[in-house]
Structure 1
Amino acid sequence: MSDTEEPLYDGPDPFYRGTTAKWAAYLQTLPDVPRTLDAILTRVDDHWKAEAWLEIHAAEHGPELDRVLARWWRVARQWKSPEKLRKIITDIESGKAKTAPSSEASPRPGS
């Protein structure tokens, strides 16, 4: 690990695996979302729902499905109302908000 890389989460919760320890700690401060398909898809924005649905249904039972559900659960947990999103964008653009690498926040295969 280089001096600039953050350590990865190494705790027992499989839904935080693949994120940095710092990002996992942040996610734990957010309102909880039940770890069910219905709860995840209800919380995800309509623009992402079709992609989430396709990824979840294409995944094989086992580790692949666990990774896909965990990724979308993390997205659902972070989802904000449009007003909160506008404030977050303004804070990021002004330098007030801390950010994380897009590879941790983006709902893309392999992330």
Structure 2
Amino acid sequence: MTHECTGYSPGHAVHWIQAGLTLKIPGEIKKVCVLGHDGHWLTFEMDGEVHRVWNHDPGQVGRFHDAAVDLQTTPNTRCAPLFFTSVKLLRIPVGNNAMDLYPSWDGPTDCSRREER
């Protein structure tokens, strides 16, 4: 099933410009340790504190969680899930690509839908 939300606000889709800024203006890059997920919610540890964030797509939250746990439990890997402070984006390296998640720190917000003309 494809998620129909067209929004790019926190907790919704990652815009390509936002993803590109992680390379140009990453801000501080922090390692995170993903701890769990429950539907729309992802729980992780960063800077010694536990955070719980929301995303509109529970399938993406689950995929992000599973990829993070796989990465975290792979022996001898130098990769880790990351948080880019400038664009508030979570990222996991996946092969030559990346999986991004744009969390909402303030809980659920309504999805935007583009109207058909």
TM over 0.5: no
Higher strand share: 2
Higher helix share: 1
TM-score, scaled to structure 1: 0.32
Structure number with the bigger relative contact order (C-alpha 8 A, sep ≥ 6) is 2
TM-score, scaled to structure 2: 0.31
